Structure 1
Amino acid sequence: MTDHVSMNDWLEKYDGTERISKGDVLEGEVISVNSDEILVNINFMADGIVPKTEIPEENPLAYAPGQKVSVYVIKVDDGEGNVRLSLTRAEGLIVWDELLEIFNQNKTFEIKIKEAVKGGVIAIYKTARIFVPASQLSIAYVSDLSDYVGSKLKVRLVECVPGDKKAVASHKVIELETRQVARKDFLSRVSIGDQLSGKVVRLASYGAFVDLGEIDGLIHVSQMSWRHVKHPSEVMKEGDVVDVIVVQVDRDSERVGLKLAKVMENPWDTIYTIYQVDDVVPAKITRVTQFGAFAELEEGIEGLIHISELSESHVSSVSEVVKVGDSVEVLILDIDADAQKIALSLKAVDSEPETDFAEFVDETDTKATLSDLFADKLKNLKL
């Protein structure tokens, strides 16, 4: 029998081959595969064996003969004359070099979300674990992190420390860049006078912000109605879809000013076509003061019933006659469109009406006289 020759003995005798050591990462080519291991040619006197446990996802059949692979040397001699290799460990070392290059060059790459954790999600890139904070998943607020599990995301690295195997990525930065490109394009095309449609996304004391798709435009309170608007909520609410007209475009500051496309026409501009002096019209009492009561004829048209026009009788207090919310009929005494004032009278409508003789008229007798009409009434009078 021949004596057993160790791998180290062979290495000493093997002429023309570089020595390999534990921890080396080598390039090889797959020779054969089976369900338990992969045989790899590493240009050495002995081929290398990659056991199933050292293969990503423990799936040897995912590889094919002729495929180029990077392998990590676990043992130069496994006791049977074989070089023990690992694909997983090689990839684990190589991937951090790759990630550092990606980070330094600010490249975009794709990751797959594996699980949701406190404050964000964990993704896998080859064999490296990458953390994506919840705040970096999207421009929009993310309420349920689990919705991302199993999905793929395009990201950029915002931090990479290979020595600590630490990598932090962001998808939000890509969304912001995409939005910025869209904003620039939108601003290059939009012009004053354009009519657009959008959703009200936020109300402020000075106006309402409308999502136009690529950018948010502002409707100032002064552009919501002809009348004074104290707060945008008097006109609209968040979530409303409104038609707007562009009134200002500032491309440098990326701001777009808007106005409502259907701003109510000032009724005072057409007041004389709707109301005339001596018209009797319905109204609602809106305010009560010491000198009289204000009554609204329609939205935006409010007139004053002076205390002297409330009743034929003496009025010591306006509230004796009317109160806020009362529905009344009033006579228009005067209209001043320029001053936006209307003088009204309640007593002119409430005064005793003239006697209506219609009920006494016999429509079949066209020759009836006054004495005929009042015959029954006059005979009862005592002189």
Structure 2
Amino acid sequence: MIDPSENPELWDFLSSLHSGELLTGTIAAIEPFGVFVALDDGPDHPLFPGVGFITYPELSWTPFNEASEVLHVGQRVSCEFLQFDTWNGEARLSLRATRPDPFQLFADGIEVGQELQGRVTEILTFGVIVEVADGIEGLIHVSELAGTPCQGTQGVVRPGAYITVVVTGLDRQRRTVSLSQKRTSKGSP
């Protein structure tokens, strides 16, 4: 824990920040547990390479394998301040909050009942995952597949195959898309 009495400049700076405030800085280090940001107006941190910190989920709306796919050391960034981490004495930040949410943009242009083309990305025992837009995936429950009910997911579709689906549900809060292959105008892949 960072002692406030030993780091009054740091504590004063972090205490002055407000949730939602936009902060700028430079990526100082990328670690397996998150990304440190040297904030332009912030003091040096007594232990870390930057007073700002971004957890991996706050880096991007879309999935990634490594932080280096999203940013690099030395890169200038603008981030939204989330909260003051009093244990580590750092500003928790979000990079993704400064960018449009692709799921919400997708949801704005889609209606329940609309047919879409999608690529099968994964076969599960209870259904099939289909990418219906760049970085947007939906689930076809096994009961909504065009094959016979006794087939389950086996042999109905293959990963990589392009199929027609119908949007049966869209949950903006949970960021989920429910799909059907049965209810398409074709009723099959």
The reply to whether TM is greater than 0.5 is yes
- Determine what percentage of the aligned residue pairs are the same residue: 26
Match of 1:201 in 2: 28
CA distance in 2, matches of 1:290, 1:326: 17
Label 1:351 to 1:209 Cα distance change in 2 as closer, same or farther (>3 A): same
| Cα deviation 1:231-277 (Å, max 9, x = unaligned) | 64464333432112334457997533322251443735983x32222
Q: Is the 8 A contact 2:14 2:90 kept in 1?
A: no
CA distance in 2, matches of 1:254, 1:298: 40
Q: Is the 8 A contact 1:187 1:251 kept in 2?
A: no
Q: Is the 8 A contact 1:206 1:232 kept in 2?
A: no
Say yes or no: does 1:265 pair with 2:101: yes
Match of 1:329 in 2: 164
CA distance in 2, matches of 1:349, 1:315: 22
Q: Which runs of 5+ in 2 are unaligned?
A: 1-8, 45-49
CA distance in 1, matches of 2:33, 2:111: 37
Say yes or no: does 1:218 pair with 2:61: no
Structure having the larger proportion of residues in helix:
1
Task: Give the alignment's Cα RMSD to 1 decimal.
Answer: 4.0
Match of 2:13 in 1: 187
1:285 Cα deviation after fit: 1.5
Q: Who wins on radius of gyration, i.e. which is larger?
A: 1
Say yes or no: does 1:287 pair with 2:122: yes
1:340 Cα deviation after fit: 4.4
Q: Is the 8 A contact 1:206 1:231 kept in 2?
A: no
CA distance in 2, matches of 1:188, 1:306: 47
Q: How many aligned positions are there?
A: 168
What is the DSSP-based 3-state SS (H/G/I as helix, E as strand, rest coil) of the residue aligned with 2:13?
helix
CA distance in 2, matches of 1:334, 1:188: 42
CA distance in 1, matches of 2:23, 2:174: 35
Label 1:237 to 1:288 Cα distance change in 2 as closer, same or farther (>3 A): farther
Match of 1:42 in 2: none
Q: What code does the residue aligned with 2:13 have?
A: L
1:288 Cα deviation after fit: 0.3
Q: Is the 8 A contact 1:199 1:242 kept in 2?
A: yes
Q: What code does the residue aligned with 1:265 have?
A: D
CA distance in 2, matches of 1:188, 1:277: 45
1:350 Cα deviation after fit: 3.2
Q: Which runs of 5+ in 1 are unaligned?
A: 1-182, 353-383
1:339 Cα deviation after fit: 5.1
Label 1:285 to 1:202 Cα distance change in 2 as closer, same or farther (>3 A): same
Match of 2:181 in 1: 346
Label 1:199 to 1:326 Cα distance change in 2 as closer, same or farther (>3 A): farther
Match of 1:274 in 2: 109
CA distance in 2, matches of 1:189, 1:277: 45
| Cα deviation 1:93-118 (Å, max 9, x = unaligned) | xxxxxxxxxxxxxxxxxxxxxxxxxx
1:331 Cα deviation after fit: 1.4
TM-score (normalizing by structure 1): 0.35
